[in-house]
Structure formats: structure tokens, C-alpha cells
Amino acid sequence: MNGFSSILFISSATLGQAGQPQQPNLFATLLPILLIVVVMYFLMIRPQQKKQKAHTAMINAIKPGDEVVTVGGMYGTVAGVDEKKNAIYLKISNEVKVRVERHAIARVVVEDQAVTPK
């Protein structure tokens, strides 16, 4: 029994030293969070910023005579641009003109030229 108790004493002494928790590496702890932020930036934030820049450039390039579609789905031809009021005048019928905000323009209608396949 004496040999058995000495084995228990030795094993309990070794467990006491190894049982203390080690400090986790700060880099290893923060790496997954950092990777998630980087992936979200490249998959969500950056493409949205590119779309916003392209939309702003498209709105700034609108000139009279362009056919546009508003966010509400109304088609019209640009009759004039008011820089002071940040508005665009759309001609939607022969004698009907409406004033809309610049940011209410969803897209410029581009007529597709039919390409005949060879």
C-alpha cells in the first residue's frame, strides 16, 4: 500500500502543476474576429460603396434628353436640371412635366442595339 500511496502523491503533485490554466495567446484569440471583419468588408461593405459611387456618378452625368426611370418606376425624359434645388424636371407626356429629386432617379434607360448572331 505504501507504493500505491506514493504513486498517488506523485501524480497529484504533477496534476497540481499542470492544472494551472495557461494564458491564451492574444493573437490567436483575436484572429477569428479579425478575419470575420475583413471578410465582411470585402463581401458586403466594399461592393456597396462601389455601387453608391457608380450611382452618384450616373446621377451627376444626367443631362437633358436622357430617358430615365425613377425609383417609383415612372419613365420620363429629362427636360431640365436644377442645380440649386438639386432637382430634375422630367417630361412624362407631351405637356406634362414633373420635378423629382436627383436621388429619386434609379437608372438611365439605354436602348439596347440588337446584335444579330452570325
Tell me the fold of 63-111.
SH3 type barrels. (2.30.30)
Work out the pLDDT band at 15, boundaries 50, 70, 90: low
Residue by residue, DSSP assigns the chain as: -HHHHHHHHHHHHHHHHHTSPPPPPHHHHHHHHHHHHHHHIIIIIHHHHHHHHHHHHHHHT--TT-EEEETTS-EEEEEEEETTTTEEEEE-SSS-EEEEEGGGEEEE--PPPP----
Average pLDDT score, the chain: 83
Going by pLDDT thresholds of 50, 70 and 90, the confidence category of residue 115 is very low
* pLDDT at site 7: 52
pLDDT at 28 over 90: no
- Give per-residue pLDDT as tens, 47-89: 999 999 999 999 999 999 999 999 999 999 999 999 999 999 9
pLDDT for residue 6: 52
